[in-house]
């Protein structure tokens, strides 16, 4: 009796295993190994930092790959993790044989000293290739005196670096500014110093006053109006003081 019961249990187990294996085999034949779902059309759209070939290498998505063999969401997460220069990526499957990949780059707005790194408007650190450095050669450079700035791609700037970025973002959003920022030096204890594009004029903003977007815009506006005055042409340094609403030139 016990042997009969054991035989029934073993037979049931074998039937279950057979059903599982059979379903897996049928599933592969119907989906992941079905040539009907092999990619025939692969549309890739990129901008600056990554080529279509590089996207194929990183994702493993290429013509001939079965649409059921990968997760688009997982591949997207892997791309964003491995490429800090990407702001976003979109991978869309269109059955039975079409995939679209759209990669959107981060746009650098401020370089980090003499390194090959920059930050985008959200403060994300990215590495710039040679062609990117040429394309973005005129964006402001963040300095900390003679100290080397220690940042790596994927990090997010904070503290005084973030304040410098806030100034750049405010500057880029304003119209009619009479000067161009070449460098921003954050090494001072009282002032954050903007060096203009002619490399001879300093605009000194008080750290303790750069506490809000409104204050930053007001300081830039006051500096712009002062430098636009022909009488200011001989002056090389300007202290912008929000507390007294004055700009002192030397």
- pLDDT score, position 135: 85
* Beta-carbon contacts of residue 250 (< 8 Å; ≥ 6 apart): 235, 236, 237, 238, 239
**Which parts of the chain fold into alpha helices (H)?**
2-27, 52-59, 72-82, 130-135, 159-173, 213-228
How distant is the alpha carbon of residue 23 from its chain centre?
44
- pLDDT score, position 23: 41
Per-residue pLDDT tens digits of the chain, which is 250 residues long: 555 555 566 556 655 555 455 544 444 444 456 878 889 999 999 876 678 888 899 999 999 999 888 999 999 999 998 888 888 999 999 999 999 999 998 899 999 999 999 999 999 999 887 878 888 899 999 999 999 999 998 899 999 999 999 999 999 999 999 999 999 999 999 999 999 987 679 999 999 999 999 999 999 999 999 999 998 888 899 999 999 888 988 7
Closest by alpha carbon to 64, among 42, 92, 89, 91? 42
- pLDDT score, position 204: 97
Cβ atoms of 226 and 247 within 8 Å: the answer is: yes
**Which parts of 181-242 fold into alpha helices (H)?**
213-228
- pLDDT score, position 29: 44
């Amino acid at each position: 009796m016990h042997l009969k019961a054991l035989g029934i249990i073993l037979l049931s187990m074998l039937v279950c295993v057979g059903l599982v294996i059979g379903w897996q085999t049928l599933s592969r034949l119907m989906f992941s190994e079905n040539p009907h779902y092999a990619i025939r059309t692969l549309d890739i759209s990129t901008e600056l930092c990554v080529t279509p070939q590089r996207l194929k290498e990183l994702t493993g998505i290429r013509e001939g790959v079965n649409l059921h063999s990968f997760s688009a969401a997982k591949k997207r997460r892997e791309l964003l993790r491995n490429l800090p220069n990407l702001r976003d990526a979109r991978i869309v499957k269109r059955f039975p044989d079409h995939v679209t990949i759209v990669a959107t780059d981060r746009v650098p707005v401020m370089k980090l000293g003499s390194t090959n790194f920059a930050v985008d408007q959200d403060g994300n650190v990215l590495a710039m290739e040679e062609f990117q450095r040429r394309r973005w050669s005129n964006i402001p450079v963040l300095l900390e005196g003679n100290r080397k700035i220690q940042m790596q791609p994927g990090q997010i700037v904070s503290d005084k670096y973030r304040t410098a970025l806030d100034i750049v973002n405010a500057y880029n959003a304003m119209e009619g500014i009479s000067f161009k920022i070449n460098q921003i030096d954050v090494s001072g204890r009282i002032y954050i110093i903007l060096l203009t594009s002619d490399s001879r004029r300093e605009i000194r903003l008080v750290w303790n006053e750069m506490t809000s977007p409104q204050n930053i815009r007001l300081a830039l506006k006051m500096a712009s109006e002062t430098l636009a005055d022909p009488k200011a042409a001989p002056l090389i340094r300007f202290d912008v003081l929000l507390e007294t609403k004055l700009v002192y030139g030397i």
